[in-house]
Amino acid sequence: MKTSHAILSIGATGAAALALATASAPAAMLVQYKAANFNNTTHDWTDSSGNGNTASDTGFSIPTLVTNATPNGSSAVQFSVGFGGWLAFNSIDLTTASGFTILAYATNPGGSNDVLIGGPNGNDLQYRFSNNKQQLQDNQVASFATGTATIPTGAFESISVAGTAQPNIASSASFRLNGASDGGGSFTPNSNLTSNFTQLGPSGTYGGMIAEIRVYNEVLTTPQIQAVETEFYNAYVVPEPAALALLLLGGVGLLRRRR
* Residue scoring higher pLDDT (228 or 96): 228
Query: Which of 70-84, 89-103, 115-129 has the highest mean predicted lDDT (pLDDT)?
Result: 70-84
* Residue scoring higher pLDDT (151 or 26): 151
In this predicted structure, which of 167-171, 227-231, 244-248 has the lowest mean pLDDT? 244-248
Q: Answer whether residue 164 is part of any domain.
A: yes
Residues 146/130, Cβ–Cβ less than 8 Å: yes
**Other CB atoms closer than 10 Å to residue 218's CB: what's the count?**
15
Average pLDDT estimate for 188-195: 75
- Overall domain count for the chain: 1
Q: Answer whether residue 12 is part of any domain.
A: no
Residues 6 or more apart whose CB falls under 8 angstroms from that of 60 comprise 83, 84, 85
Question: For the chain, where are the E strands, in sequence order?
Answer: 5-10, 16-21, 29-39, 44-47, 56-57, 64-66, 76-78, 87-92, 100-107, 114-118, 125-130, 133-138, 144-146, 156-166, 169-177, 180-187, 197-200, 209-216
Q: How far is residue 152's CA from residue 34's CA, in Å, rounded to a whole number?
A: 23
Residues 159/232, Cβ–Cβ less than 8 Å: no
Q: Answer whether residue 182 is part of any domain.
A: yes
pLDDT of 147-172, one tens digit each?
A: 999 999 999 999 999 998 888 888 88
Residues spanned by the domain of 104: 25-258
What's the pLDDT score for residue 5? 31
Q: Answer whether residue 10 is part of any domain.
A: no
**Which CATH number covers residue 38?**
2.60.120.200
Mean pLDDT of the chain: 82
Residues 6 or more apart whose CB falls under 8 angstroms from that of 97 comprise 164, 166
Residue 144: pLDDT over 80: yes
* Residue scoring higher pLDDT (85 or 184): 184
Query: Which DSSP category does 132 fall into?
Result: T
Q: Answer whether residue 157 is part of any domain.
A: yes
Q: How far is residue 39's CA from residue 216's CA, in Å, rounded to a whole number?
A: 23
Q: Answer whether residue 160 is part of any domain.
A: yes
Q: Answer whether residue 77 is part of any domain.
A: yes
What's the pLDDT score for residue 187? 81
* Residue scoring higher pLDDT (168 or 108): 108
- By percentage, how much of the chain surpasses pLDDT 70? 79
**Residue 63: is the preceding peptide bond cis (ω within 30°)?**
yes
What are the b/e assignments for 109-127, b being 16+ CB within 10 Å? bebebbbbbbbbeebbbbb
Q: How confident is the model at residue 196 (pLDDT cuts 50, 70, 90)?
A: low
Q: How confident is the model at residue 246 (pLDDT cuts 50, 70, 90)?
A: very low
